[in-house]
Amino acid sequence: MLKLKKYYKPFILSILIAIVLLFTQAMCDLKLPDYMSDIVNIGIQSNGFEQVAPEAISENGFQLMKTFMTKEDRNYIENNYTKVNQEDIAYVKKYPAVENRNIYVLNKELEDEQIEKISHIFAICSKTMTNVIAKLTEGTEKITQETEESENIDVSKVYEMLPMLNQIPEEILQQARNEANQTPESMLTSVGLIFTQSFYQELGIDLSQIQNQYLIKTGMKMLLICVIGISAAILVGYLGSKIGAGIGRNIRNDVFKKVQSFSSAEFNNFSAASLITRTTNDITRSSKLCCHDGKNASIRTHYGNWFTNYDGTKNDRISLDYRISLRINRSFDCVFV
């Protein structure tokens, strides 16, 4: 096999390009399930809302959420939101209800870490609120169930409880926060998104439009990834066929020249069947190392399995398919040494 390395060197650039294309194809194949999961979890279950931190919230909603925040969280939220008066018509188109109420708008150009922190604060507040209301109001099970399972809640009814909620002792609030901090992150996000959607609905935002926009945007991303993956697969097949045909052509040419230079004594040492096999079947098998003909795609088999079967994202775990592919790759790479 090592004697064949000189036949692969002229095509080394095409082989490297094919490997890069295989990596691209593998990443596309691995990314599609993530987008499908986003469509279900975010697009359908969360109505297209990706973050708990509301981009805009009414003044009453802002005061309500601050009631259940710690002093540190309250200061952080106030520094990252800007109050917009009801006379400001710049926000009327996006938030129709701003015509008759003041709102707070999330500051622009915030880092992802800041938005994640704000989302976590709102999620903790939302769960804390449900815990407090469940303890202080009759019909505990009904309130908790409606808050955590319904698509949205009527925040106007909660606003009516603001005077009572402002009188809640700090000990009860702290206990409710501790319970909220022990809640799984997925449930916190779910409860927080319910309140966020309610705040948006209060401002006159069309939730179904946001959901449709998210589904269309994610679907277009999936379509683009499919096009890239299919294009990469076609190019890999083209390059593999070209490489295999070129290698087979060069080997046959050199074998033919070598046979032509044989003496009569050397010809007697080889049968016609053996020479035919060497110049046909053996060369064909060698050229198929990079040739793509449907089932026989060596580059795709070796490196494609390597890219798609690696499972080292957590605890450096390596799948069995990855180990097998890695051993095949070592024998495949020796050709280029």
Alpha helices in the chain (DSSP H): 5-8, 12-38, 59-67, 71-80, 112-136, 140-149, 155-159, 162-165, 170-181, 185-202, 207-260, 264-269, 272-277, 283-287, 298-299, 305-309, 320-333
Is 97 in the same domain as 146? yes
CATH number of residue 251's parent domain: 1.20.1560.10
Q: Which token pair is 241?
A: 């066929």
C-alpha to C-alpha distances, 51 to 191, 193, 200, 331, nearest whole angstrom:
12, 7, 13, 48
Is 104 in the same domain as 186? yes
Is 201 in the same domain as 101? yes
Is residue 186 domain-resident?
Answer: yes
DSSP 224-251: HHHHHHHHHHHHHHHHHHHHHHHHHHHH
Query: Nearest CA to 106 among 57, 160, 34?
Result: 57
Pairing of strands 56-58, 81-84: unpaired
Q: Which token pair is 234?
A: 């076609």
C-alpha to C-alpha distances, 291 to 13, 146, 294, 310, nearest whole angstrom:
15, 61, 9, 24
Last residue of a domain, one of 138, 172, 205: 205
Is 170 in the same domain as 259? no
Strand-pair partners of 292:
297
CB 194 within 8 A of CB 158: no
Is residue 169 domain-resident?
Answer: yes
What is the side-by-side order of every strand in the sheet holding 81-84? 56-58, 103-106, 81-84
Q: Which token pair is 105?
A: 């708008």
Q: What 3-state DSSP class applies to 24? A: helix
Give helix 112-136 / helix 170-181 axis angle, nearest 10°: 120
pLDDT given at position 208:
87
Is residue 50 domain-resident?
Answer: no
Is 123 in the same domain as 194? yes
Is residue 211 domain-resident?
Answer: no
Is residue 42 domain-resident?
Answer: no
Half-sphere exposure of 175 (CA within 13 A, CB side): 10
Is residue 49 domain-resident?
Answer: no
In a structure prediction context, what are the per-residue pLDDT tens digits for the chain, which is 337 residues long? 567 778 878 888 988 898 899 889 888 988 999 999 989 888 888 888 888 899 888 888 898 899 898 889 999 999 999 888 766 666 767 777 666 677 888 998 889 899 999 999 999 998 998 888 777 765 444 444 544 444 556 777 778 778 888 888 888 888 888 888 888 888 888 888 888 888 888 888 888 888 899 999 999 999 999 999 999 989 988 888 888 888 888 888 888 888 888 777 777 777 777 777 777 777 777 666 655 444 444 555 555 555 555 544 444 444 444 444 444 444 444 443 3
Is 60 in the same domain as 201? yes
Q: Which token pair is 283?
A: 């060369």
Q: How many whole angstroms separate alpha carbon 45 and alpha carbon 73?
A: 28
Q: How many whole angstroms separate alpha carbon 287 and alpha carbon 241?
A: 9
Is residue 165 domain-resident?
Answer: yes
pTM for the model stands at 0.68
Is 241 in the same domain as 299? yes
Is 184 in the same domain as 106? yes
pLDDT given at position 326:
44
Last residue of a domain, one of 205, 231, 265: 205
Strand-pair partners of 103:
58, 84
Q: Give the domain range for residue 121.
A: 56-205
Tally of domains in the chain: 2
Which residue type occupies 140?
A: T
Is 314 in the same domain as 188? no
What DSSP character marks residue 111? -
Query: Nearest CA to 311 among 72, 30, 8, 112?
Result: 30
Last residue of a domain, one of 179, 205, 231: 205
Question: Phi, psi at residue 104, to the nearest 5°?
Answer: -115, 130
Is 63 in the same domain as 192? yes
Is 139 in the same domain as 201? yes
